[in-house]
Structure 1
Amino acid sequence: MGLKCKACGAQLANEASTCPACGAEVPKKMKLLPLAAFMLIVILVIQAYMDKPEPETAEPVPPSQAAEQ
């Protein structure tokens, strides 16, 4: 019973989805764990992308050496 309705100020039960006095919808609290997990995945993907070494470009073989091979 620690919550108050933002519309009318009535006391709300912790598990209430609507206010019993005015019928206003109680906003759901976003859980921290899914947000933290998503942020961790994003950070790991960015880190993996940044740590990837640059692909080495193959140097073209001069025409005189290509004919000898």
Structure 2
Amino acid sequence: MSRECKACGAQVTDQATTCPSCGTALAAKMKLLPLAAFMLIVILVIQSYINKDEDGSVAVEPAAPTSSAEQ
């Protein structure tokens, strides 16, 4: 596959780091997997904080005091 140089419009191969026509440095393509992994981690961290807040809001009822006669 080939891509187009943004400076001069020439067709450049995917492996090239510079344009053979004008010599402009070409930007590396961003890989999708690291971005997807980062987004998944962010979502899981946010979800854990949301779930932690819900667990903390549960009210704990104190036990009824026992009298000495019941013991």
- Unaligned segments of structure 1, at least 5 residues: 58-69
Instruction: Give the residue type in structure 2 aligned to 1:23.
Output: G
CA displacement, residues 28-64 of structure 1 (integer Å, 9 cap, x when unaligned): 111000000000000001101110122779xxxxxxx
Distance 1:17 1:2 in 2: 12
- Unaligned segments of structure 2, at least 5 residues: 60-71
Matched, 1:54 2:56: yes
Q: Which residue in 1 is equivalent to 2:43? A: 43
Distance 2:27 2:18 in 1: 9
Distance 2:9 2:44 in 1: 43
Identity %: 61
Q: Which residue in 2 is equivalent to 1:3? A: 3
* 1:46 counterpart SS class: helix
Q: Which residue in 1 is equivalent to 2:67? A: none
CA displacement, residues 8-42 of structure 1 (integer Å, 9 cap, x when unaligned): 11111110000011111111111000000000000
Distance 1:8 1:56 in 2: 64
The answer to which of 48-57 and 6-15 deviates more is 48-57
